[in-house]
């Protein structure tokens, strides 16, 4: 198998993010809180595209989108246009989508920009505002179902589409990009990435400068990585067999974990883009941008820098913590309650992260609060539990959400602090192991055996420092007798 | 036949407010007239007699109790059937929307209701406003009240015919490429297409959004100013509606054109203009000169491309606007069979739309397609810009521009239906105002062999005052007598 170096892989992403903090849809005043709602209850003549109705732009959506453009270092258009993207599909009430376009005289919200991931810049091509279509559901699968149901509650929800240049070279980079983007959107407070379907993405990938393959229907960041890995393997094997990779659109089948061809280049739809005549060009003034810029909350990159300065964290640690807003928030909440930030960051970046990663969840999905972690750290400080015990306490906390002192009590994990009690056990061990005691008197290293016995007898609940002290104390008494 | 069906709206309003006339009696007499002549003219698709009489009684009660009443107090109005009326079916003269009952009123309808206007019914039109003769209606053609064998013009033919035949005192039409002015001219009534953005389009079922406006069709210029004052105002529901203070246009009804400069557009007298039309319009210009205005010929070179540019833009927008009619959520639907969705869509659209509508959808789809977009749509938009520029230049020299509304007299029913190009050519003088977004009015200026001639006045954007002033002066000094016929 010939090796394809990572530099020969080019990955670009097209990300659709719902502006989930908006109260209403993009072009009408219907509620945008559509999740878990009775189908077709959050609709009106406008988002249903009924005859004679007209769209009116949600100003807040525009502000949010401008905020994203500023955060992604993009150039915001002074005069942006909406375009119609025409195609028939039952989830679209008007059979066209109000979107934006960067060709045929179209001017999207913003052009250019970048996101930095681990010091590398991934360039943004454009950012645009558009409406979400409705949702189709099938009985069973799309192939076997004899009918489809349409729910238009989602139709008209505000989306921003972010298109990158093909600057990513590995599937992992693509995932990191998406995570960073999510962190930025969450820091801006405009999108909650943990809501189902709030961030969706299409990926395109080409190998060795070959033809571009687009992969659609990817539901999560993890799936992006999987789909791209599959596609790399598929394309590599084609290349090895001397088969050219054709330009096409493929569909990611999450269940079978394969991509399936949807259509080739020749079958691509003609969307007949043209300017939306019902919406006048939107003029975005420098003042408006400035105003929004001034009201912007702290962004992940700024926060990372602050973490390094304020908490004296290493750049790597600060990067990991700010990669997710929930994680960064958890850290700062904890740091407010407990003034050893590096201790907190150690636990978060090691123990917490591996637990979260294994389960593919975010820290705010845990039943655990910063107080849990801080209380546990205080128990260590007070010598009540050892670090080693703390790990098992943490696992229990993660699973049950119980407070650490309760877990410690329940499981009898407290360290033995009573020196007299320990002395009595030592006395017993010395009696049972006379030879070992003799050895220890002459050879200091032989003390380890006695230590081991003590730990075993106390089930490790004893502070090793104290254990050593008491054994040596006893030995020194014996040696006095021996020499006298 | 009581004489008040011949009275203009401002007279009706005055009499009802003064309690000289009961709104109920007057509305009932309009329906009596409808019962007599509608079978010959067919101006309406839907009549709302019960609702109208109920509304009339409410108004009579208000008047009696000395409550405040609106500016259209009791006046019977015909509404073109592409303007949505809550609870009253709005068909667009299409099989597709034959049973469509909007759950909302167009903004203009709310305004009319606020002003105590009474809706008589929904007026016939060309399907989806695509046509110049009202022959392309799923419900059958409307006949010209002046010659039942001829067309009333279109696409607002029902609205104009209703006013011209005494079946409504006022009417609303919509004008995408002349659809108010053409039937106004053919039926010898007044029709005004306002400046783009002056009247809300919310609730107007779109044919070509960037071109069209709702406007009044009336017996005379005073009524036109009255109805315009009621419907023109900023509407937050229409993003293209312009935010400017509301006006009372009746204050511009000034009989004075002394010193006004009229530009006679050379291109409006081009090839295809009938001699009788040319003669009638030139006479009107001479009459205006008698009133003290000056006229001069002006050539707007870009106008030679106006017609193709108009049709490309209108059809392109239409192809997209009409995509929503797939039968899934409302509208015509084939009997339930197990087809996949795309087959259902094609069948619904195949049977739901008429021939002319399908022709325009197909042409518009073509014009927007990759590879043709630059050649057609973009080029048409460039011409549009040139036309706007030419008008801007012309309005630096002239207060208003004038010419015929239609190059020809009302033609015979069936004469042009088989020849779309001939039909499209009728719009040559009316489409420039839509492309430029400027206001334009058509007023009667006489008859030739019993058929009406209209002439057109155009003004710079939002200068409806100038149109009304010139039109009013003409009408006051040279009234065109148009007695109602009995058709018996």
pLDDT tens digit string along A465-475? Answer: 778 888 888 88
Measure the CA–CA gap between B117 and B48, rounded to whole angstroms. 13
Q: If you average pLDDT over residues A269-279, what whole number do you get?
A: 94
Instruction: Name chain A contacts of B236, Cβ cutoff 8 Å.
Output: 56
- Asked if the Cβ–Cβ distance from A270 to B370 is below 8 Å, we say yes
Q: If you average pLDDT over residues B211-224, what whole number do you get?
A: 98
Instruction: Name chain A contacts of B368, Cβ cutoff 8 Å.
Output: 86, 272-274
Q: Which residues fall within 8 angstroms of residue B416, CB to CB, at 6 or more apart?
A: B133, B422, B423, B426
- Asked if the Cβ–Cβ distance from B324 to A55 is below 8 Å, we say no
Cβ-contact B161, B43 below 8 angstroms:
yes
> Nearest Cβ partner of B202 from A54, A57, A270?
A54
Residue with tokens 């020849």, as numbered in its chain: B419
Q: If you average pLDDT over residues A459-484, what whole number do you get?
A: 74
Measure the CA–CA gap between B454 and A368, rounded to whole angstroms. 81
Residues 90-149 of A with CB under 8 A from B: 90, 93-96, 104-105, 146, 148
Q: Output the pLDDT for position A2.
A: 45
- Average model confidence (pLDDT) for chain A? 89
Looking at the complex, report in whole angstroms how far the Cα of residue A293 sits from the nearest Cα belonging to chain B.
Answer: 27
Give the angle subtended at the CA of B485 by the CAs of B479 and B488, to the nearest 5°.
170
How many CB pairs lie under 8 A apart between chains A and B?
Answer: 103
- Asked if the Cβ–Cβ distance from B97 to A84 is below 8 Å, we say no
Q: Output the pLDDT for position B2.
A: 52
Instruction: Name chain A contacts of B201, Cβ cutoff 8 Å.
Output: 54
Q: Which H/E stretch holds residue B453?
A: strand B451-458
Looking at the complex, report in whole angstroms how far the Cα of residue B333 sits from the nearest Cα belonging to chain A.
Answer: 14
Q: What are phi and psi of A3, to 5 degrees?
A: -90, 135
pLDDT (tens digit per residue) in B348-364: 999 999 999 999 999 99
Out of A203-207, A442-446, B78-82, least confident range: A442-446
Looking at the complex, report in whole angstroms how far the Cα of residue B370 sits from the nearest Cα belonging to chain A.
Answer: 7
Helix or strand or coil: residue B190? strand
Question: Residue A448: which pLDDT band, with cuts at 50, 70 and 90?
Answer: confident
User: Does any CB of chain A come closer than 8 Å to the CB of residue B324?
Assistant: yes
Q: Output the pLDDT for position A472.
A: 84
- What does chain A come to in residues? 484
Could you give the domains of chain B?
Answer: 1-488 (3.90.1300.10)
Q: Which residues fall within 8 angstroms of residue A9, CB to CB, at 6 or more apart?
A: A169, A170, A205, A206, A207, A232
Residue with tokens 């909350």, as numbered in its chain: A297
Residues 196-215 of B with CB under 8 A from A: 201-206, 208-210
- Asked if the Cβ–Cβ distance from B239 to A105 is below 8 Å, we say no
Q: Output the pLDDT for position A444.
A: 77
Instruction: Name chain B contacts of A93, Cβ cutoff 8 Å.
Output: 324, 329
- Asked if the Cβ–Cβ distance from B104 to A277 is below 8 Å, we say no
> Nearest Cβ partner of B323 from A53, A86, A273?
A86
Number of H helices, E strands in chain A: 16, 17
Measure the CA–CA gap between B217 and B169, rounded to whole angstroms. 9
pLDDT at B192 over 80: yes
pLDDT at B241 over 70: yes
Instruction: Name chain A contacts of B100, Cβ cutoff 8 Å.
Output: 51
Q: If you average pLDDT over residues A316-345, what whole number do you get?
A: 93
User: Does any CB of chain A come closer than 8 Å to the CB of residue B44?
Assistant: no
Helix or strand or coil: residue B319? helix
pLDDT at A97 over 50: yes
- Asked if the Cβ–Cβ distance from A279 to B239 is below 8 Å, we say yes
Q: Output the pLDDT for position B430.
A: 98
Q: Output the pLDDT for position A443.
A: 81
- Asked if the Cβ–Cβ distance from B102 to A272 is below 8 Å, we say no
Q: If you average pLDDT over residues A162-167, what whole number do you get?
A: 96
Q: If you average pLDDT over residues A44-57, what whole number do you get?
A: 97
CA atoms within 13 A on the CB side of B384: 21
Q: Which residues fall within 8 angstroms of residue B294, CB to CB, at 6 or more apart?
A: B259, B260, B261, B262
Q: Output the pLDDT for position A16.
A: 95
pLDDT at A432 over 50: yes
User: Does any CB of chain B come closer than 8 Å to the CB of residue A83?
Assistant: no
User: Does any CB of chain A come closer than 8 Å to the CB of residue B129?
Assistant: no
Measure the CA–CA gap between B174 and B158, rounded to whole angstroms. 11
pLDDT at A278 over 50: yes
- Average model confidence (pLDDT) for chain B? 96
Question: Residue B488: which pLDDT band, with cuts at 50, 70 and 90?
Answer: low
pLDDT at A7 over 50: no
Interface test with A, best of B324, B350, B377 (most A CBs within 10 A): B324
Residues of B taking part in catalysis: 80, 155, 179
- Asked if the Cβ–Cβ distance from B104 to A104 is below 8 Å, we say no
Q: Which sign does the torsion angle of CA B381, B387, B393, B397 carry? A: negative
Q: Output the pLDDT for position B359.
A: 97
* Measured CA distances, A174 to A69, A180, A251, A359, B484 (Å): 20, 10, 18, 20, 77
Out of A177-186, A336-345, B64-73, B335-344, least confident range: B335-344
Q: Output the pLDDT for position A460.
A: 72
Question: Residue B486: which pLDDT band, with cuts at 50, 70 and 90?
Answer: confident
Measure the CA–CA gap between B92 and A315, rounded to whole angstroms. 66
What would the two tokens of residue A406 be?
A: 């309760």
pTM of the predicted structure, to 2 decimals: 0.89
pLDDT (tens digit per residue) in B376-435: 999 999 999 999 999 999 999 999 999 999 999 999 999 998 998 999 999 999 999 999
Q: If you average pLDDT over residues B196-216, what whole number do you get?
A: 98
Q: Which residue of B has its CA nearest to A277?
A: B210
Give A467 or B194, the one with higher predicted confidence.
Answer: B194
Pairing between β-strand B261-265 and β-strand B294-298 as defined by DSSP bridges: parallel
Q: Output the pLDDT for position B325.
A: 98
pLDDT at B334 over 60: yes
Q: If you average pLDDT over residues B268-286, what whole number do you get?
A: 95
- Asked if the Cβ–Cβ distance from A90 to B206 is below 8 Å, we say no
Residues 279-318 of A with CB under 8 A from B: 279-280
What would the two tokens of residue A324 be?
A: 């997710």
- Asked if the Cβ–Cβ distance from A94 to B323 is below 8 Å, we say yes
Q: Output the pLDDT for position B169.
A: 98
Residues 327-386 of B with CB under 8 A from A: 328-330, 338, 341-342, 345, 365, 368-370, 373-374, 377-378
Out of A145-149, A327-331, B123-127, B155-159, least confident range: A145-149
User: Does any CB of chain B come closer than 8 Å to the CB of residue A57?
Assistant: yes
Could you give the domains of chain A?
Answer: 6-291 (no CATH), 296-411 (no CATH), 419-483 (1.10.10.410)
- Asked if the Cβ–Cβ distance from A95 to B316 is below 8 Å, we say no
Interface test with B, best of A43, A54, A58, A95 (most B CBs within 10 A): A54
pLDDT at A119 over 90: no
Out of A382-396, B198-212, B262-276, least confident range: A382-396
> Nearest Cβ partner of A96 from B205, B323, B328?
B323
Q: Output the pLDDT for position A484.
A: 41
> Nearest Cβ partner of B97 from A51, A272, A278?
A51
- Asked if the Cβ–Cβ distance from A88 to B378 is below 8 Å, we say no
pLDDT (tens digit per residue) in B451-468: 999 999 999 999 999 999
Q: Output the pLDDT for position A413.
A: 67
Q: Output the pLDDT for position A234.
A: 92
Out of A69-78, A177-186, A204-213, A285-294, least confident range: A204-213
Out of A80-89, A359-368, B229-238, least confident range: A359-368
Measure the CA–CA gap between A7 and B84, rounded to whole angstroms. 60
Looking at the complex, report in whole angstroms how far the Cα of residue B93 sits from the nearest Cα belonging to chain A.
Answer: 13
Interface test with B, best of A39, A52, A149 (most B CBs within 10 A): A52
Q: Which residue of B has its CA nearest to A273?
A: B368
- Asked if the Cβ–Cβ distance from B323 to A278 is below 8 Å, we say no
Q: What are phi and psi of B199, to 5 degrees?
A: -115, 135
Question: Residue A417: which pLDDT band, with cuts at 50, 70 and 90?
Answer: low
Give B256 or A395, the one with higher predicted confidence.
Answer: B256
Instruction: Name chain A contacts of B207, Cβ cutoff 8 Å.
Output: none
- What does chain B come to in residues? 488
Instruction: Name chain A contacts of B239, Cβ cutoff 8 Å.
Output: 54-57, 278-280
Question: Residue A28: which pLDDT band, with cuts at 50, 70 and 90?
Answer: very high
> Nearest Cβ partner of A51 from B100, B239, B341?
B100
Cβ-contact B163, B170 below 8 angstroms:
yes
* Measured CA distances, A165 to A10, A107, A206, A209, A222 (Å): 9, 18, 12, 14, 21
Number of other CB atoms surrounding residue B378 within 10 Å: 16
- Asked if the Cβ–Cβ distance from A274 to B209 is below 8 Å, we say no
Rounded to 10°, the helix A171-188/A221-240 angle is 160
Instruction: Name chain B contacts of A270, Cβ cutoff 8 Å.
Output: 369-370
pLDDT at A415 over 70: no
Out of A221-235, A409-423, B223-237, least confident range: A409-423
Q: Give the single-character DSSP code of B415.
A: S
Exposure string over B248-257, b if 16+ CB within 10 A, otherwise e: ebbebbeeeb
- Asked if the Cβ–Cβ distance from B377 to A105 is below 8 Å, we say no
pLDDT (tens digit per residue) in B130-155: 999 999 999 999 999 999 999 999 99
Looking at the complex, report in whole angstroms how far the Cα of residue A57 sits from the nearest Cα belonging to chain B.
Answer: 8
Q: Output the pLDDT for position A6.
A: 45
* Measured CA distances, B309 to A76, A244, A480, B32, B351 (Å): 32, 45, 115, 44, 29
Instruction: Name chain B contacts of A150, Cβ cutoff 8 Å.
Output: 328
Out of A58-62, A238-242, A331-335, B459-463, least confident range: A238-242
């Amino acid at each position: 198998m010939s090796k394809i170096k990572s530099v020969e892989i080019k990955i670009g992403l097209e990300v659709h993010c719902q502006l989930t903090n908006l109260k209403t849809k993009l072009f009408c005043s219907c509620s945008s809180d559509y999740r878990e709602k009775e189908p077709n209850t959050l609709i009106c003549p406008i988002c249903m595209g009924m005859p004679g109705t007209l769209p009116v732009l949600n100003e807040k959506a525009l502000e949010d989108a401008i905020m994203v453009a500023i955060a992604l270092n993009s150039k915001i258009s002074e005069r942006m246009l909406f375009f119609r993207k025409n195609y028939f599909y039952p989830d679209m009430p008007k059979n066209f989508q109000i979107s934006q376009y960067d060709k045929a005289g179209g001017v999207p919200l913003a052009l250019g920009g970048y996101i930095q991931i681990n010091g590398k810049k991934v360039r943004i091509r454009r950012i645009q505002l558009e409406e979400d279509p409705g949702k189709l559901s099938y009985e069973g699968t799309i192939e076997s179902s004899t009918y489809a149901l349409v729910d238009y509650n989602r139709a008209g929800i505000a989306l921003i589409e972010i298109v990158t240049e093909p600057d990513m070279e590995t599937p992992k980079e693509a995932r990191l990009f998406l995570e960073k983007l999510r962190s930025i959107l969450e820091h801006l407070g405009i999108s909650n990435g943990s809501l189902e379907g709030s961030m969706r993405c299409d990926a395109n990938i080409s190998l060795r400068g070959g033809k571009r393959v687009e992969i659609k229907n990817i539901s999560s960041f993890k799936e992006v990585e999987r789909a791209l890995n599959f596609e790399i393997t598929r394309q590599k094997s084609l290349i090895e067999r001397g088969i050219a990779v054709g330009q096409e659109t493929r569909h990611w089948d999450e269940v079978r974990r394969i991509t399936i061809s949807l259509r080739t280049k020749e079958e691509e739809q003609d969307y007949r883009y043209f300017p939306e005549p019902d919406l006048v060009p939107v003029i975005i003034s420098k003042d408006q941008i400035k105003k929004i810029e001034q009201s912007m909350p702290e962004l992940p990159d700024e926060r990372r820098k602050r973490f390094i300065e304020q908490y004296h964290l290493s750049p790597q640690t600060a990067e990991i913590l700010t990669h997710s807003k929930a994680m960064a928030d958890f850290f700062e909440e904890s740091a407010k309650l407990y003034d050893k930030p590096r201790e907190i960051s150690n636990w978060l970046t090691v123990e917490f992260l591996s637990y979260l990663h294994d389960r593919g969840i975010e820290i705010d999905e845990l039943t655990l609060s910063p107080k849990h972690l801080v209380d546990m750290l205080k128990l260590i400080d007070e010598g009540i539990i050892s670090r080693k015990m703390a790990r098992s306490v943490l696992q229990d906390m993660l699973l049950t959400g119980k407070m650490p002192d309760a877990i410690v009590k329940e499981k009898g994990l407290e360290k033995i602090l009573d020196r007299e009690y320990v002395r009595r056990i030592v006395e017993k061990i010395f009696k049972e192991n006379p030879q070992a005691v003799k050895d220890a008197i002459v050879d200091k290293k032989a003390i380890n055996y006695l230590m081991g016995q003590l730990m075993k007898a106390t089930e490790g609940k004893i502070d090793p420092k104290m254990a050593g002290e008491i054994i040596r104390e006893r030995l020194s008494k014996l040696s006095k007798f021996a020499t006298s | 036949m009581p004489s008040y069906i011949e009275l203009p709206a401002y007279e009706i309003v005055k009499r009802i407010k003064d309690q000289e006339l009961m709104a109920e009696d007057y509305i009932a007499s309009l329906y009596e007239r409808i019962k007599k002549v509608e079978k010959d003219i067919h101006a309406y698709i839907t009549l709302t007699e019960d609702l109208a009489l109920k509304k009339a009684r409410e108004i009579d009660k208000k008047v009696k109790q000395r409550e405040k009443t609106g500016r259209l107090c009791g006046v019977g109005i015909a509404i073109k059937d592409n303007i949505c009326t809550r609870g009253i079916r709005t068909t667009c003269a299409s099989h597709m929307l034959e049973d469509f009952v909007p759950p909302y009123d167009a903004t203009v309808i709310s305004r009319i209701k606020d002003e105590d206007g009474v809706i008589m019914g929904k007026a016939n039109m060309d399907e989806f406003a695509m046509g110049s003769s009202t022959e392309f209606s799923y419900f059958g053609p409307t006949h010209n009240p002046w010659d039942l064998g001829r067309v009333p013009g279109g696409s607002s033919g029902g609205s104009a015919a209703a006013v011209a035949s005494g079946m409504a005192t006022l009417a609303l039409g919509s004008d995408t490429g002349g659809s108010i002015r053409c039937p106004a001219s053919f039926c010898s009534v007044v029709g005004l297409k306002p400046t783009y953005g002056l009247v809300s389009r919310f609730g107007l079922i779109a044919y070509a959004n960037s071109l069209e406006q709702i406007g009044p069709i009336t017996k005379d210029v005073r009524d036109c100013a009255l109805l315009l004052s009621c419907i023109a105002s900023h509407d937050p529901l229409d993003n293209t509606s312009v935010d400017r203070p509301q006006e009372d246009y009746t204050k511009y009804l000034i009989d004075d054109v002394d010193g006004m400069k009229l530009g006679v557009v050379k291109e409006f007298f081009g090839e295809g203009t009938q001699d009788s039309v040319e003669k009638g319009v030139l006479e009107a210009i001479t009459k205006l000169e008698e009133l003290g205005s000056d006229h001069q010929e002006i050539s707007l070179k870009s106008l030679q491309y106006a017609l193709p540019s108009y049709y490309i833009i209108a059809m392109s927008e239409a192809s997209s606007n009409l995509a929503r009619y797939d039968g899934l959520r409302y509208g015509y639907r084939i009997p339930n069979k197990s087809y996949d969705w795309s087959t259902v869509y094609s069948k619904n659209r195949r049977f739901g739309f008429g021939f002319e509508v399908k022709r325009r959808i197909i042409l518009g789809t073509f014009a927007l397609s990759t590879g043709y977009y630059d050649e057609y749509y973009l080029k048409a938009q460039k011409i549009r810009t040139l036309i706007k520029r030419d008008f801007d230049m012309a309005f630096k020299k002239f207060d208003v521009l004038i010419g015929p509304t239609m190059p020809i007299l009302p033609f015979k029913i069936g004469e042009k239906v088989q020849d779309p190009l001939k039909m499209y050519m009728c719009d040559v003088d009316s489409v420039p105002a839509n492309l430029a977004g400027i206001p334009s009015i058509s007023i009667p200026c006489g008859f030739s062999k019993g058929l009406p001639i209209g002439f057109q006045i155009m003004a710079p954007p939002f200068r409806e005052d100038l149109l009304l002033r010139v039109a009013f002066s003409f009408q006051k000094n040279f009234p065109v007598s148009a007695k109602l016929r009995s058709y018996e």
